[in-house]
Amino acid sequence: CIRDRSKSVVTSRRSFIKGAVAGAVSAGVAPVMAAPAPQNGLPAKWDGEADVVIVGFGGAGATTGIVAAQNGAKVIILEKNPQNHHYSNTRMSGGIFHCPFKDGDPKALKDYAQAMFSGENIDWKEEGEIPEYSEGLAQLWADLSPTNLEFLQSLDPAFIGGSQPGFNKASFPNFPGAKECKYNAYRATYQKRMKNFNQKSVDSPKEETSSGEAFWRCLEEGVKKQGDNIKVYYETPACSLLKNAKGEVVGVVATQNGKPVYFRGKKAVVLCSGGYEYNKPMRQAFLEGPGVDGWAFYGTTSNTGDGIAMGMAAGAGLQKVGKSAARVIVPAQTRYNGMRIGSITPAVGSANSIVVDNYGNRYEAETKVTDNPSRYFFYKAAVTFDISSLSYPRTPSWMIFDEKLRTSKPLVGLGISTVGYGFIDWDEKNEKPIASGLILKADSIEELANKIKQHPENKGRMIPANLVEQVTRFNKFCDDKKDADFGRRPATLGKIEQGPFYAMPLVAGGPNTKGGLLADADRRVLAWDGTPIPRLYSVGEIASALKFVYQGGGNLTECLVYGRHVGKNVAGLPDTTL
């Protein structure tokens, strides 16, 4: 095992983050003595034993562990982060989860889920994404997703599913079953009158939280209720799997305080360690377009593809690894593992702004960047390859806006994501990124175009006359109340006319990658030939079911649906032998 010694993100918001960067040991975890070196692949002595070992303590790992414990299993969860800097994608998310109404048609719900996952039940779809397993995945979704709120409230009766306008319906109305399934989604909260999440909420009493923070606090309550049946080892990154002579996965090798430690999973090992957002070789191998500088992500920096690498080393196949839930977002100047950290950027598509390519031309209705559901695959537009110039003309893209928008609201989400959890420093009036040079400022559109042209990432491609013409044309559309070029929503047509003027770079990115390990409907990890790797399972973004399209909140939903299913199944398995 090789411990990740990459330089961590340094933030100034909280002393405990600085402590984590310095390698502070989390409280509450007793030190363990490293076992002797493995003999014939297995250790002579295990440092910890349980029925089920789970790698990763986010929404997928927590749900799987809770349900396994509820069904009589002893559980060990291995988490790479310190306890006081434990920020998963689940916790940093918007806290949206699907919970279709129970009076909807179950068959319609299954059909709609199968269309989202794979699409082979859609007449015009050329090829299903996961046709061998999509029906089983969809059946579980139909069986369990309508009880997601009920499950969470069983963990903590104080938890509330807040109404979420725009998410309380099927995002794809032309899909089979969309109308009859009575689709719905909630936003996690503990507040009867939900307020916007703010940076203080992470340190606030549970009752004052909402979004991903509330969702995570609920799962934490569920873990605590299991008492000694779940033990979490913080600062214990897993790095390889152990098999017995039969080829069954029987344990995990991890590191603790720089030494190898060995954990026995008598019934199963479940990989819940997320995607590969901050693994440079994987990004270069799998992502479309310039995988390093052409992308940014606004989830946890802890997602470095560990579980994917472990699964591959154990013989796992891969599936649709290039898939992401992504749009175009602002990349910060902060980096981790040499890659940009981004922020959720809800201001894209606002009045008084447009988005242009490196030549100064608009290329889509800007509202598609943030509207549901197009926002979750807008990255496809961003990484378009020009076969004549052999370049990516929209990497980066540029958000052009005026003083009216700059002073009206934050351009990024201040309460969730990387800003809300202290990875990026941003202010309400957007002055800090201007002062740092991330956002360019000019007194005229022509001057702004020339500043973009001089920017190293533009590579001199900007044509100032193009940008001037595009802004003039857009302003006329605002007068006409109709975007004649791209059909942008009329309510967002506000002129770019109040100087000074600004340009902010945008690159492909979002909360997480979705592709990864090949797994079946029961979430058993599979070899390339489709045979299961015995006693190895995966839940969450490491092997997302949402391979075709994505509806907001889908990743938290699959944590609940498949975590519950896998947790129950593995708890009932017989013990393996060594």
From first to last of its 578 residues, the chain has per-residue pLDDT tens of 644 433 333 333 333 333 332 332 233 333 334 445 455 689 999 999 999 999 999 999 999 999 999 999 999 999 999 999 999 999 999 999 999 999 999 999 999 999 999 999 999 999 999 999 999 999 999 999 999 999 999 999 999 999 877 777 999 999 999 999 999 999 999 998 776 655 556 778 999 999 999 999 999 999 999 999 999 999 999 999 999 999 999 999 999 999 999 999 999 999 999 999 999 999 999 999 999 999 999 999 999 999 999 999 999 999 999 999 999 999 999 999 999 999 999 999 999 999 999 999 999 999 999 998 898 999 999 999 999 999 999 999 999 999 999 999 999 999 899 999 999 999 999 999 999 999 999 999 999 999 999 999 999 999 999 999 999 999 999 999 999 999 999 999 999 999 999 999 999 999 999 989 999 999 999 999 999 999 999 999 999 999 999 999 999 999 999 999 999 999 999 999 99
Residue appearing with tokens 């009880």: 147
Distance CA 493, CA 108 (A): 37
Residue 102 phi, psi (nearest 5) = -70, -20
Distance CA(466)–CA(268), nearest Å, equals: 59
Sole residue written with tokens 């988005």: 355
Rounded to a whole number, what is the distance in angstroms from the first to the last CA of the chain? Answer: 22
CA-wise closest residue to 273 among 220, 226, 241, 310:
310
Q: Evaluate if pTM is beyond 0.75.
A: yes
Distances (CA, A) of 475 to 244, 402, 407, 452, 479: 68, 12, 19, 21, 7
Which among 527, 520, 557 has a CA at the least distance from the CA of 540? 557
218 Cβ contact list (under 8 Å, min separation 6): 152, 155, 156, 159, 188
